[in-house]
Amino acid sequence: MSKITIGIMAAMPEEIAGVTALLDNPQSTTIGRRIYTTGTIKGIDTVVVFSRWGKVAAAATVSALIHHFNITQLIFTGVAGAISASLQIGDIVLANRLIQHDMDARPLMPQFEIPLLGKTYFEIDNSQLSIAQQAITPLLENDTLINLIGTEVLTTFGITQPKLLTGDIASGDKFFANNSDKENLLTLLPDVLCVEMEGAAVAQVCYEYDIPFTIIRTISDSADDNSHIDFPAFIKEVSSKYSVAIIKQIYKSMP
């Protein structure tokens, strides 16, 4: 059996700190102004890193994971803004396809198509998707995440009964904070569930190097004029705890 090495990324340090704490025998290496912490979780070699915001930062980080640490699969966890009206703060979105909403090389090629690859969407491998779905679902059905967060915090952020949706995620170097941007994106990409700034770039690099990947996002805001929440508090009290619980569950399901 081939050796497994899992890379775990997040775009903010608060999102990744709890995952780093899961590592046994942690050791840190600095490459390109990023600290990569290696160790094991449940006996599986793992590298955890804070990638920073945006597509370039994320692509550089996953490239280092591939070339310096020889990862065999990648998990990205973090927050996103809701585009679909079916999403509420505290819900979880698991990507089955990712698209770069700010890629536009017209008239040379269709809008959103990645130059030279002939691809618009990057798809998640079905086996990776199944593992993540099976890990997240019981956390929601058994109210594990609700109990983990606590009633007071849930009330603060208006979280009632978080749910899991699987679908399209759009990435780009833009923070969505008004209704017109949100409506324009929905007109062009009506199937998109949420937006963030890293996932599709990570997906492109993983695709080019044939690395299986999983993108998991917690909805932190509505990606419109009401998007001004206390992000540090939300990440500390909600999404970071989601990430730790989900990662632990994914590792538990591995052979």
Q: What is the reported pLDDT for 229? A: 66
* Residue-range domains of the chain with CATH: 5-247 (3.40.50.1580)
How does pLDDT run across 37-86, given as a tens digit for each residue? Answer: 999 999 999 999 999 999 999 999 999 999 999 999 999 999 999 999 99
What is the structure's pLDDT at 221?
82
SS (H, E, C) the chain: CCCCEEEEEECCHHHHHHHHCCCEEEEEEEECCEEEEEEEECCEEEEEEECCCCHHHHHHHHHHHHHHHCCCEEEEEEEEEECCCCCCCCCEEEEEEEEECCCCCCCCCCCCCECCCCECCEECCHHHHHHHHHHHHHHHHCCHHHHHHCHHHHHHCCCCCCCEEEEEEEECCCCCCCHHHHHHHHHHCCCEEEEECCHHHHHHHHHHCCCCEEEEEEEEECCCCCCCCCHHHHHHHHHHHHHHHHHHHHHHCCC
The pTM (predicted TM-score) of the whole model is 0.95
pLDDT at position 137 is 95
**Structure confidence at residue 255 (pLDDT):** 66
pLDDT of residue 223: 62
State pLDDT tens for residues 191-248.
Answer: 999 999 999 999 999 999 999 999 999 998 876 666 556 778 888 899 999 999 999 9
Q: Is the pLDDT of residue 1 over 50?
A: no
- Segment 4-17 shows an average pLDDT of 92
pLDDT, residue 222, reads 76
pLDDT number for residue 227:
57
What is residue 14's predicted lDDT score, i.e. its pLDDT? Answer: 86
pLDDT at 192: 97
- The larger pLDDT score, comparing residue 12 to residue 241, is at 241
How much of the chain exceeds pLDDT 70, in percent? Answer: 96
